[in-house]
Chain A
Amino acid sequence: MKKTFSNTYIFVYSAVLVVVAALILTVVSVSLKPSQEKNQQAETKQMILKTIGIDATRDNADELYAQNIKESSLNGNDYFTFPGGVIIPLKGTGLWGPIWGYLAFDDGGSVKGAVFDHKGETPGLGGEISSDKFASRFIGKQMCEEPIHLKKNADKDNPYEVDAISGGTMTSNGVTAMLATAYEKYSDVIPCYEDCEAISALMMEEEEQ
């Protein structure tokens, strides 16, 4: 009952199969690319808007982005400004692949909002960095003198510590590394409480004079 197949048949069969599969995937990938890219761009804009508390839908993201966000750059590092603060992009690697995010600072230097996302972290563990619950832990923190780092049982009152994800240690370490890199790049851009103090000290001096 078992059929036998010649070597030639096997070679031709596998070659045809692979070519057909590749063709299907190529055609699909090329034909769907424009709408995929549009979705991705809209998503990036949605993420950036979310850090300053604007919930945009995919349809109005372009418009709201144009109204609220300006793109700037310092020494070739791109960042964004909004009325009342700056937004810095974050890029790094988690356990399984790239992770990224945006961090918005108000003029006072404290974090106004954060968003994170990932390509392939384990759902329910490291993947939790994309949740609102995790992002909200950053609100009110600052990156004035050192980068924010993730820590188990972080001190809520310490402005540089954020609670790490239980079961997602490797991804949490990735987030910490990502924040450190961003701090190196953007420390001149990130507003600082000290600036405010310095400015108010200056103003006091001027008043005294």
Chain B
Amino acid sequence: MKNTDLIKLPFSKNNPILVQVLGVCSCLAVTAQLKPAFVMAISVTVVVALANLIISLMRNTIPPRIRIIVQLVVVSTLVVLVDQVLKAYVYDVSKQLSVFVGLIITNCIVMGRLEAFAMVQKPWPSLLDGIGNGLGYSVILIVLGAVRELFGSGSLWGFPVMEKLGLYRIGYENNGLMIMPPMALILVGLIIWWHRSKNKELCEQ
């Protein structure tokens, strides 16, 4: 596989959410609004990339029988470390991030990529794979966050779009279902449907 593919493929043909179906839990939890979705997207990208790099460097020393535990220790140390540093130097960012710390550690994409890629690949491709998958995840999160905030709360990034357009005065109402997690699952389903219809080779026979 070429290095550019490592960045490019996760956007579409090997998207972590749409194709690998990893990281769906956090994708349902944090996409009620655009801003937290964005913060989560960036955090996961950074963590997957770094964890991939570190695990790849360690890969030949890790005993297979305890590899999951080793991965977990590395990921959680990394996340807590980053959170501590942010808390000391960029307190506001850390406040945004604090609720995500647990969600990042348990994010299936992180473990999935470590298991499937970093354990058997060299550090540089692993780093690229981490960045690629993080960004692929980010795209879906941001789309979901935008749609759910716009139709669920009538705003985008906190800006009251629907109110400014004057839609409430003509009887428009926000869709309460949009901000509930099940709606995110339905939206992901719709995106997967659309994505598969564009990429027939992904469909299982």
Contacts and interface: CB of A to CB of B under 8 A. Distances in A.
Partners in one complex: yes
Interface of A: 2-3, 5, 9-10, 13-14, 17-18, 21, 24-25, 28-29, 32, 35-36, 39, 43, 58, 96, 119-125, 127, 166-167
A14 B36 contact: no
B18 to A, nearest CB: 22
A10 B66 CA distance: 8
A167 B30 CA distance: 13
Contacts of A3: 60
Q: Is the interface of A mostly helix, strand, loop or mixed?
A: helix
Residue among B30, B64, B74, B88 with the highest chain A CB neighbour number at 10 A: B88
Given A13-B61, A120-B102, A167-B180, A125 B32 contact: yes
Interface string B167-185: 0000000001001100000
A166 B174 CA distance: 11
Smallest CB-CB A-B distances: 4 pairs = A124-B32, A123-B36, A5-B63, A124-B33
Given A10-B66, A166-B176, A21 B77 contact: yes
B59 to A, nearest CB: 11
A119 B97 CA distance: 11
A17 B73 contact: yes
A122 B99 contact: yes
B63 A9 contact: yes
B63 to A, nearest CB: 4
Given A28-B81, A167-B32, A123 B99 contact: yes
A113 B84 CA distance: 31
Interface of B: 29-33, 36, 40, 60-66, 69-70, 73-74, 77, 80-81, 84-85, 87-89, 91, 98-100, 102, 149, 176, 179-180
B102 A125 contact: no
Residue among B32, B102, B176 with the highest chain A CB neighbour number at 10 A: B32
A163 to B, nearest CB: 13
B179 A18 contact: no
A98 B160 CA distance: 29
Q: Is the interface of B mostly helix, strand, loop or mixed?
A: helix
Contact of A123 (B33, B60, B65): B33
Contacts of B80: 25
A25 B77 contact: yes
B30 A123 contact: yes
Contact of B179 (A14, A58, A121, A124): A124
Contact of A18 (B73, B84, B91): B73
A115 B84 CA distance: 25
Contacts of A125: 32, 179
6 contacts: A5-B64, A5-B65, A21-B74, A25-B81, A32-B84, A32-B85
Contact of A124 (B36, B62, B89, B91): B36
A83 B122 CA distance: 65
Given A32-B84, A123-B33, A166-B179, A17 B63 contact: no
Nearest to A166: B176
B36 A35 contact: no
A21 B85 contact: no
Contacts of A32: 84-85, 87-88
A120 B99 contact: yes
Nearest to A96: B99
Residue among A32, A35, A123, A166 with the highest chain B CB neighbour number at 10 A: A123
Nearest to A35: B88
A17 B70 contact: yes
Contacts of B84: 25, 28-29, 32, 36
Contacts of A25: 77, 80-81, 84
B91 A39 contact: yes
A17 B61 CA distance: 11
Contacts of B81: 24-25, 28
A14 B66 CA distance: 8
